[in-house]
Structures are given as C-alpha cells and as structure tokens.
A and B are shown apart, each in its own frame.
Chain A
Amino acid sequence: MAVAQRSGRSRYRLLLLILTAVTLLTLDFRGYGPLETAQSRVRDVLEPVVSAVDVVLGPVAEVWTVMFSYNDLRSENEQLRAEVDSLRSADIRAAARDDTLDRLLDATGVTYVDDIEQVTASVLRDSVGNFDDDVVSIDVGHRDGVAPGMAVVTAAGLVGRVETVDTGQSTVTVISNPNLVIGVRLIDTGDVGLGHGMAGEQTKFVVDTGLRWPETGDLSELPAIGSAVVTAAGSRYPANIPVGRVAAVEPAEAGLVQLVTVDLAAAVDDLGFVTVLLQVPVDEAPIGPDSPFPEQSP
C-alpha cells in the first residue's frame, strides 16, 4: 500500500514538474518580462565567478587547444600565407569593385550606419552548449546602452542580433542561425524578401520568402550572381547593412518563388570584435499584408 502510494506520489511529482516546465516555456515564448529579468539577474550574479574560474582554467583550455589544434593551426597558417599572396594581386581588382559598389550605394541613397550610435565589443566566449553554435557572448550590456534586438555588425556587414542583455554582457544570435529571420533587399532587382541562415552552413544565408519567380519566365529579371544583398528598410534592423552577395538563384514551391542563396559578407565562425548599432529595435517581425514582406509566397 505504502509502496503504491510512493510510486503514485513520484508520478504526481513528475507531472507537476512537467506542468511547471510547460508554464515556463509558455511564459518564455510570450516574452514575459519578469522571467527574462530573473534569468538576467542569475547570469549577472554568477558572471564574476564564471570570469574568475575562466581566468584560472584558461591555461588548461589553452594547453588542450594547442595539443589538439597544432596541425589545424599549421595548415591554417599556410592557407593564410597563400591568401595574403592572392590578396596582394587582387587588391587593385577589389578597389575597383568597391568603387562600383560605392557608386551603386550612392545611386540608391544608401548610407551604411553613418547616423547610428555604435558601441564596439569584444567576443567573450563562443557557445556553451552543443546545439548553439550560432550564439556568442560579448562584453557590453545594459550599462552600455545595449538592448535586445539591436543589430550587430562588423566592417564586412551584419553578423547577428542581440538576444539577451545583462548588466555587462550580452548574447548575440549570429546571422547563420536558421531561427534568425532577416528582411533583406536585393540591390540588383530592388526586391525585398525574408531570409535566414542554413543549418550547418556558417557562410550561407537563404532568402526563401517574398520573392516571386518571374511570371513571364524572363530570367533577366532574376538577381545577378554576385550582386549585393542588404538589410531592407522596414526590417527589424537598420536599412542597408550589407548581408552578402547572391551565390545562386533557383525556383522553389513548384516554380512560383525564388530561392536565393547568399554568401555572407561577414565571417561569423571566428569573431573577435563586433559593433553593436544602438538603434532601438523593432520588436515584431515585419510580416503581414501591409509590410514589404508578404507572409508567404503564393
């Protein structure tokens, strides 16, 4: 009898735990403020301890890295030397290309974040888990004016979005994360659409919503390979931040929409320093009949 009671009690307790978790998940999805504040406080309280332990254990981690990355580092060094050589020869061509891009940007009235306040941050650590390769921690937070949703960039272009903000640090969801949806404009055609990162591909981005395949079948209406892609006005982020260059355009959804693959402008796999654009972000994803981004392509 007592055993049956105990067994029932433990099932009852598990049920209570599940219900608690479901409640927390629901509140989290709805962006319940106090819950986010509580998490932020916990991280703030633990941060000095984490930093201290990091300093103590840093040398151990470095020894591990040196032991197991020596061959990688050597081949990376050789690869970098080769790239430096090729860059020397490509310097002139790059200057010409930059000039073309500048003129194109001038023509379309683009100014790349000239009028937005910025704060530079260094990357504290990469992801802590195994499933969050696309999340990094940076050393600026509330006290520096950072807020969730702000755009994070490098000189090359958009690298991500501020996700959680604590007093002195924040986490950034990197642009390669498939869950991060970004409104973009294709400079070549002027079309706007929604895109996101591709799972397992840190250098690619795909625009899969909002771009119709030409009804006439005229392929010249498609964006040119290599043409620039920037953030769109009306997206969650400041307009005209470089995102990347078009790598491929294919038909999708029975040939009704374009699937545009983009090579990301910024290298997000090894970030050292980033810049946060201190512009108050738009909370909601700009999807709907009145927005430039239709909810789903026909």
Chain B
Amino acid sequence: MTAPQRVSTPMRRGLSSLRASGLMAALRVFLVYMAALLLQLTLFVEVRVVGVAPKLPALVAVLAGLLGGAQKGSLVAFGAGLMWDVYLPTPLGLAAVSFALVAFGLGSVTQDLFHDTRVQTALLAFAGTAASVAVYAVLGEVVGQRGLLDDDLLRIVLVSSAFNAVLSLVVAPAMRWALWGGRVREPSVDSPRAAARIGR
C-alpha cells in the first residue's frame, strides 16, 4: 500500500518540477521578448541608421532558433512574430510565419555547429535577420502587399541585420538565460548526429 506512494511521490515531484521549469522558461522568454518589443516600439522608432531600425523581434526569434533548436525555437519565433504583427500594418500572421520558418531553418542547420563565441553568434544573427527580413518581404508580396520588394530592400536587409548582429551581443546572453536558465544547454536534442554522438 505504501510502496507505490514512495515511488509515485518522487515521480510527481519530478513531473511538477519539469512543468515548473517549462513554465519558468516560458515566463523568462516572455519577459525578454517584451523588453525587446518595448525597445523596438519606443527607442528604435527614433534611433535608426540611414533610416533603418534594428528588428529586435526578429532577433529574439533568430536567437530562439539558434539557442533553442528547431522545435522550441520555431514555437518561440512564431509567438514573437505574432506579437510583432499586432503592431505592423501587414496582415496578422505574416511576421509569425516568416520568423517561424527562419528559426526552424536556422535551428536545423546550426544544430551540429558550434556557435558559442560571440562573433559566431553575431554572424548567425546577421544571417538569420537577413533571411527573416527577406522571407517577410517575399511572403508579403505573395499575399498582395505592395512596396515590400523594391530598391530599399537591400539597404533594409543589410542595415537591420548589421544592427541586430551588434545587438546580439546583449540579447544572446538574455535569451540563453531565458531558454536555459542557469543550466548549460544540452547538446542538440533535435539532432540525429548529436543524439548518436551522445548515445541516445
């Protein structure tokens, strides 16, 4: 009678601790994202280089894919894009799907790569932001939004990506904390090669 209780209690504790850590991670990601969104809606309306602002919501999405892997990253990126869509004149869901696709792609491509140095993270943030802006513009034109694919696109892609690459030096540690707390990230659980390497 008592034996099952002895077994189930630690299991329950483990499960509830897992749930709690998942919830805490979601809360931390939400906090980091809201800080990024507020900066985007206030400071970076004015602070621009050659008329182009950084794209912090895209940076959060890209870093989620990079640090969280394809599965977790695409989910975070979708939420980040959806929230950003609320403030954009383009249809709801456009930034969400763009960010999710880029985060998934980036998470899949980089899962077996080392990207632990700041320079590597910045370069990947540059590439990810460039991809997200380009995908957003192309999908926008596909769904009938005029003026996204024009002469300014290259300038917007280059400047916002460079801006994001620099800002990734600050945002990447925040996202690392948000996704993994104080823990070190496990070797890419989505990766078949990594899983084989660690014997799963």
**Which A residues form the contact surface with B (CB < 8 A)?**
2-4, 6-7, 9-10, 13-14, 17-18, 20-25, 27-29, 35, 39, 42-43, 49-50, 53-54, 57-58, 60-62, 64-65, 125-132, 134-135, 163, 171, 173, 177-179, 199-200
Contacts and interface: CB of A to CB of B under 8 A. Distances in A.
B180 interface: no
29 contacts: A3-B196, A6-B71, A6-B195, A13-B75, A14-B74, A17-B78, A17-B100, A20-B78, A20-B96, A21-B78, A21-B100, A23-B93, A24-B93, A39-B86, A43-B86, A54-B41, A61-B42, A62-B46, A64-B46, A65-B46, A128-B53, A128-B87, A128-B88, A129-B87, A130-B55, A131-B90, A131-B148, A134-B147, A199-B146
Contacts of A178: 146-147
A65 B200 CA distance: 54
Contacts of A130: 52-53, 55, 133, 156, 160
A25 B71 contact: no
Given A3-B195, A17-B75, A131 B52 contact: no
Nearest to B38: A53
A162 B110 CA distance: 43
A60 B74 CA distance: 33
Contacts of A50: 38, 41-42
Contacts of A7: 190, 192
Contacts of A179: 145-147
Nearest to A133: B51
Given A18-B97, A131-B137, 20 more contacts: A3-B196, A6-B71, A13-B75, A18-B100, A22-B93, A23-B93, A25-B94, A29-B143, A43-B86, A60-B47, A61-B46, A64-B46, A64-B47, A128-B40, A128-B44, A128-B88, A129-B87, A132-B89, A163-B89, A179-B145
Interface in B59-98: 70-71, 74-75, 78, 82-83, 86-94, 96-97
B147 A17 contact: no
Contacts of B97: 17-18, 21-22, 25
A13 B100 CA distance: 10
Give the top 3 A-B pairs by smallest Cβ distance, nearest first: A24-B93, A61-B46, A21-B97
B73 to A, nearest CB: 10
A131 B147 contact: yes
Contacts of A65: 46
B156 A131 contact: yes
A72 B80 CA distance: 36
Size class of the contact patch on chain B: 35 or more
B146 to A, nearest CB: 4
Interface of B: 38-47, 52-53, 55, 70-71, 74-75, 78, 82-83, 86-94, 96-97, 100-101, 104, 133, 136-137, 140, 143, 145-148, 150-152, 156, 160, 189-192, 195-196, 200
B108 to A, nearest CB: 8
Name the residue among A28, A128, A130 with the largest chain B CB count within 10 angstroms: A130
Contacts of A23: 93
Name the residue among B44, B136, B156, B200 with the largest chain A CB count within 10 angstroms: B44
A100 B96 CA distance: 53
Contacts of A132: 88-90
Given A3-B196, A28-B91, A128-B88, A199 B150 contact: yes
Contacts of B45: 61, 125-128
A93 B179 CA distance: 67
B87 A43 contact: yes
Contacts of B55: 129-130
Contact of B190 (A10, A128, A135): A10
Contacts of B92: 24-25, 27-28, 35, 39
B43 A10 contact: no
A177 B53 CA distance: 19
A29 B143 CA distance: 9
A226 B46 CA distance: 36
A61 B43 contact: yes
Name the residue among A27, A60, A61 with the largest chain B CB count within 10 angstroms: A61
Contacts of A4: 192
A173 B89 contact: yes
Contact of B86 (A6, A42, A60): A42
